[in-house]
Structure 1
Amino acid sequence: MEETIIPKTSTVLGALLKADFTVQWRNRRAVVLVLLVPIIIVTTWKGMIPILGGAYVLSNSITLGLIAIGLMGYTNSIARDRDKGIFQRLRVAPMPSWAIMSSRLLVQMILIALVTTLVFIAGNSFDKITLTRAGYALTYFAAMVGGAVYLSLGQVIVGLIKNPESVNATSRLVYFVFIMVGMFTGISQMDNKPNLFEKNMIQIVTWSPYGTVKTILAAGMVPGSWTMDTTNALLVTLGYTVVFAVIGIKNFKWNTK
């Protein structure tokens, strides 16, 4: 009787990462579109910099980029691979289930670092926005924390909805809502005398996943502006991540049956 050889976890994870990066390269057009979104925001919101500041524009741009990665990239790729039976085939291989998802998440984290870097480059090239070393480092940290929120939110969508077309439609709808929220906050904060409705909406948006991520990103770019409200925003962001992750993982099915 032949002895079954179980490969090392590190070997399996390395193979999965190579395969996932290959898939990203083959779908590079979709990846490029995701990366272009925040750069477009940086260039088109240039007029807001003298009014709201460079950190505001960059933080909004990165936030929308994180949303694009979490909802348009990660969610749809998971739904597509599940529908094709890729996950079902991977699960019968001699590898732990956590390695399968860890590989996907690590690829998304690298994309988050890439989109943050591109926003910094675009901000410096088009708008002459520069940060301190501490500002750059803290912003990368905030981007990773913020990216985790939208990856976990994407996990909720793909966990609750099995049909890939429905997942695609839902993720697009949620993404559109976030874009509208970003535009609303930008317009409202440029108004020196917001009405009661606008004030209430600003408070709601401030403590939404969009608002808390934007808050910690903006404060990260200017470390001296970090306040207790920023710390609270960080804690709320981590809370959103935990809640979304628990719901998404609990309801996730490896196949569509």
Structure 2
Amino acid sequence: MRPLFVLTRVECALFLREPASVLFTFALPLVLLSLNGANGNRPSDLLAGAGYIDVLMAGYLVYVMTTSGVMGMAETLADYRDKGILRRMRVSPLRPWQILGSHALMNLAVSVLGAVLLVAVAGSFFGLSRPVSIPLVLLALAATACCVLALGFLLGAMLPTVRMTQAVTSALYFPSIFISGALFPRESLPELAQRISDVLPVTYAVQAIRKAWAHGVLDGTALVVLVVTAVVAVTVALRAFRWESR
């Protein structure tokens, strides 16, 4: 296990050296929270009686996890493949699960840090409520983490070059976070956008966390979608994954 943790520590250090990654993952959600949370955490009939900050928090947590798990995971794997880093690591004494596991653990650590930072700031300055059910929130967060990491792994495994990976992940990521409720409550979006978002796994991640946090309710449908998506994505990624560029 020691090589796994050493690799994870190295990947975390490399992540922190990328100003753009740190900005989009940590700073941007705090800026959005400050801009959108000025009116506090008042309950809203539009949001089924939930507090506005509570609803925003569910979306921002998913935003942090998706930014790290999908964008970060996919682009890093593609970049390492293009530069031959994966090939050289593959012929080292390291095992494949240690190499790939370090990327998953690094992105998971980034997500946890971003989530803790968001909750701390929202709770201290914007009136964030305590979760109605902490176990259900943790369950929803775990399912979300598995799903977004699996999707990032899938994109990093299937797309042949880093440029194509950046283009495809951006084309999928940005529309998803805007219409899934990750940045704004879905109730404030046009009906067409809400219907389109029904097919996005990220939408179900937001719903699962939101219902668990604000209402203490387990959204079984959302959890099934997240888990099934994760299993399918990992299965396909393992078959398609390549250590070298074509």
Residue in structure 2 matched with residue 249 of structure 1 by the alignment: 238
* Contact 2:156-2:165 at 8 Å conserved across structures: yes
CA distance in 2, matches of 1:74, 1:11: 21
* Contact 2:140-2:209 at 8 Å conserved across structures: yes
Shift of 1:183: 5.9
Residue in structure 2 matched with residue 3 of structure 1 by the alignment: none
CA distance in 2, matches of 1:68, 1:34: 6
Give the stretch that moved more between structures: 55-64 or 182-191: 182-191
Q: Structure 1 counterpart of 2:73, which letter? A: Y
Matched, 1:23 2:14: yes
Equivalent residue in structure 2 for 1:150, among 148, 159, 175: 148
* Contact 1:139-1:221 at 8 Å conserved across structures: yes
Shift of 1:44: 2.9
Q: Runs in 1 of length 4+ with deviation above 4 angstroms?
A: 183-188
Give the stretch that moved more between structures: 39-48 or 70-79: 39-48
CA distance in 2, matches of 1:190, 1:181: 10
Matched, 1:38 2:29: yes
Equivalent residue in structure 2 for 1:202, among 178, 194, 207: 194
Shift of 1:188: 5.5
Counting only pairs closer than 5 Å after superposition, residues 153-168 of structure 1 correspond to structure 2 as 153-168=151-166
CA distance in 2, matches of 1:13, 1:40: 34
Cα distance change of structure 1 residues 71 and 206 upon mapping to structure 2, 3 Å threshold: same
Residue in structure 2 matched with residue 218 of structure 1 by the alignment: 210
Shift of 1:20: 1.8
Q: Structure 1 counterpart of 2:26, which letter? A: L
Shift of 1:84: 1.0
- SS at 1:94 equivalent: coil
Cα distance change of structure 1 residues 55 and 246 upon mapping to structure 2, 3 Å threshold: same
CA distance in 2, matches of 1:187, 1:160: 32
Structure that is richer in helix per residue: 1
* Contact 2:60-2:182 at 8 Å conserved across structures: no
Give the stretch that moved more between structures: 72-81 or 48-57: 48-57
CA distance in 2, matches of 1:60, 1:142: 12
Q: Structure 2 counterpart of 1:27, which letter? A: E
- Which consecutive residues of structure 2, in runs of 5 or more, have no partner in the other structure? none
Matched, 1:109 2:108: yes
CA distance in 2, matches of 1:48, 1:157: 38
Deviations 1:144-194 (A, max 9, x none): 321221221122222221110111111112111112213699465148xx8
Matched, 1:92 2:91: yes
- SS at 2:180 equivalent: helix
* Contact 2:59-2:183 at 8 Å conserved across structures: no
* Contact 1:49-1:56 at 8 Å conserved across structures: no
CA distance in 1, matches of 2:2, 2:222: 38
Deviations 1:108-160 (A, max 9, x none): 1111111111221221233211314843x543442232122122112222222
CA distance in 2, matches of 1:16, 1:186: 36
- Which consecutive residues of structure 1, in runs of 5 or more, have no partner in the other structure? 1-9
Cα distance change of structure 1 residues 80 and 156 upon mapping to structure 2, 3 Å threshold: same
Higher Cα Rg: structure 1 or 2?
A: 1
CA distance in 2, matches of 1:83, 1:153: 20
CA distance in 2, matches of 1:120, 1:31: 17
